[in-house]
């Protein structure tokens, strides 16, 4: 097992709360993590039809089997359990009694918050970060390979060829989650929709335009995108518009949590094809943005990550608010050879930010191997992205 950054935060939450909920996409390692953190707890998967039937038919008797708690896997399959869990947790003084996992974020979190508010801590486990893979000596030193392989654990733990694994994942995801949540009848149309979403990564999200490309109403696009977000396939990065006097864009941008999945949906067959693919830059931008988000979530934190664009088209790819209230601005470039032109937007963005009283740090993350400074800007190799947190004003 590759060591997960969430191991300590999970144990810490279990020492403070009576229950811990771990959400995240299917196959992100939730079960493996829960078992590793709590090897002495009984484990039960509610994906198992017999267990699910027993839990649904008689929740009280089902939970009585675990007087000292348990790991309840894929708990969204039996939402009626949570009302009975509430009573058990209220009657106990113990911490970390139940460890609950689930892969449908929106519905599960809503159910848990309604039934177990104040009794449960919630963590989101995403697929591996590059740093986690590097610690386990699985990280590729070639950018194309890193983008192509993605970051889902089975590709590395089980050494499954990425194309084969992602093909299987797409089929499993469509069959299990989409049919359960939306009851989509035309799966071909839905597959075309998520492929078009992959083709729009890094772009401002426009439901009407995407609907026109798919041949469907914008209302349907919004519904289907909410499912992609709720099952941790895609997310919308929100714009940063506080403290700026300029007119700024307030429309979010669309990204995928995993570049390997996006690449498979785009039909790219090999890492070599990425070298000349028109979406190479967008895919690298997606990788950097998702790495920053995963790095925070997999460590038990909620990162404050945004982008910035004003009405004239000036854009900063990534803004991060640090704990000491410094705004780190990042330009993302997939090229391996640095050029000073890459810093132009950052140097234009900084003066009004400072004028508005913001402390700033400027950074370029690029596809090369060396780290250095250029004027007032840090230039950081993609391999060292998670190691660069030096702040300037």
Q: Where does the chain have alpha helices with state H?
A: 7-16, 30-37, 49-57, 59-64, 81-91, 105-116, 130-135, 143-149, 153-157, 162-173, 179-181, 187-199, 207-214, 218-230, 259-265, 280-297, 344-355
3-state secondary structure of 205: coil
Q: Give pLDDT, residue 244.
A: 63
Q: Give pLDDT, residue 393.
A: 37
Share of the chain above pLDDT 70, in %: 96
Structure tokens at 367: 């596809």
Ordered DSSP codes for 4-39: PTTHHHHHHHHHHSSEEEEE--TTSSHHHHHHHH-T
pLDDT of 325 above 60: yes
Share of the chain above pLDDT 90, in %: 71
Q: What is the average pLDDT score of the chain?
A: 91
Give the angle subtended at the CA of 77 by the CAs of 75 and 82, to the nearest 5°: 50
Q: How confident is the model at residue 106 (pLDDT cuts 50, 70, 90)?
A: low
Q: What kind of fold does domain 130-279 have according to CATH?
A: Arc Repressor Mutant, subunit A (1.10.10)
What is the residue extent of each domain of the chain? Answer: 7-124, 130-279, 304-387
pLDDT of 107 above 70: no
Instruction: Answer whether 7-124 and 130-279 agree in fold.
Output: no
3-state secondary structure of 357: coil
In angstroms, the CA 133 to CA 187 distance is 34
Q: How confident is the model at residue 115 (pLDDT cuts 50, 70, 90)?
A: confident
Q: What is the pLDDT of residues 33-87, one digit of tens each?
A: 999 999 999 999 999 999 999 999 999 999 999 999 999 999 888 988 988 999 9
Give me the long-range contacts of 307-310 (CB less than 8 A, separation at least 24): 307/237, 307/239, 307/240, 307/253, 308/239, 308/240, 308/241, 308/244, 308/248, 308/349, 309/239, 309/248, 309/249, 310/244, 310/246, 310/247, 310/248, 310/249
pLDDT of 105 above 70: no
Q: How confident is the model at residue 238 (pLDDT cuts 50, 70, 90)?
A: very high
pLDDT of 14 above 60: yes
The one-character DSSP state at 141 is S
Give the angle subtended at the CA of 124 by the CAs of 123 and 127, to the nearest 5°: 140
CATH of segment(s) 7-124: 3.40.50.300
pLDDT of 331 above 60: yes
pLDDT of 391 above 50: no
Q: Give pLDDT, residue 245.
A: 61
Ordered DSSP codes for 84-111: HHHHHHHH---SS-EEEEES-HHHHHHH
Q: Give pLDDT, residue 243.
A: 61
Q: Give pLDDT, residue 248.
A: 79
pLDDT of 215 above 90: no
What does the pLDDT average to over 154-180?
Answer: 88
Cα dihedral sign, 176-298-225-282: negative
The one-character DSSP state at 248 is B
What does the pLDDT average to over 298-320?
Answer: 92
What does the pLDDT average to over 145-151?
Answer: 97
């Amino acid at each position: 097992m590759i060591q997960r950054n969430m191991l300590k935060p999970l144990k810490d939450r279990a020492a403070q709360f009576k229950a811990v909920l771990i959400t995240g996409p299917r196959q992100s390692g939730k079960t493996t993590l829960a078992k590793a953190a709590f090897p002495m707890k009984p484990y039960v998967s509610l994906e198992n039809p017999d267990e699910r039937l027993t839990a649904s038919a008689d929740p009280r008797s089902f939970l009585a089997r675990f007087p000292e708690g348990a790991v309840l896997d894929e708990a969204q399959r039996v939402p009626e359990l949570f009302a009975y869990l509430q009573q058990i947790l209220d009657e106990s003084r113990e911490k970390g009694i139940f460890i609950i996992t689930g892969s449908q974020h929106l519905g599960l979190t809503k159910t848990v918050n309604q039934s177990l508010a104040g009794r449960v801590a919630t963590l989101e486990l995403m697929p591996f970060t590059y740093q986690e893979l590097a610690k386990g000596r699985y990280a590729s030193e070639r950018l194309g390979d890193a983008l192509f392989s993605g970051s889902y654990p089975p590709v590395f733990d089980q050494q499954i060829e990425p194309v084969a694994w992602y093909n299987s994942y797409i089929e499993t995801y469509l069959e299990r989650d989409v049919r359960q949540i939306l009851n989509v009848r035309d799966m071909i149309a839905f597959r075309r929709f998520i492929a078009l979403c992959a083709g729009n990564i890094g772009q401002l999200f426009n439901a009407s335009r995407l609907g026109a490309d798919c041949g469907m109403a914008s209302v349907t696009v919004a519904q289907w995108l909410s499912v992609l977000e709720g099952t941790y396939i895609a997310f919308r990065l929100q714009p940063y518009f506080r403290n700026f006097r300029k007119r700024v864009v307030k429309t979010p941008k669309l990204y995928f949590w995993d570049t390997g999945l996006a690449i498979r949906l785009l039909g790219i067959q090999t890492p070599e094809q990425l070298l000349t693919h028109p979406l190479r830059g967008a895919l690298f931008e997606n990788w950097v943005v998702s790495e920053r988000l995963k790095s925070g979530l997999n460590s038990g934190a909620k990162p404050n990550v945004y982008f910035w664009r004003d009405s004239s088209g000036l854009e900063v790819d990534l803004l991060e608010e640090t704990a000491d209230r410094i705004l780190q601005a990042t330009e993302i470039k997939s090229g391996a050879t640095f050029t000073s032109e890459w810093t132009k937007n950052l140097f234009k963005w900084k003066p009004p930010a400072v004028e508005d009283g913001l402390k700033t740090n400027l950074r370029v993350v690029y596809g090369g191997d060396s780290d250095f400074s250029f004027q007032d800007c840090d230039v950081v190799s993609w391999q060292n992205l998670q190691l660069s947190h030096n702040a300037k004003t």
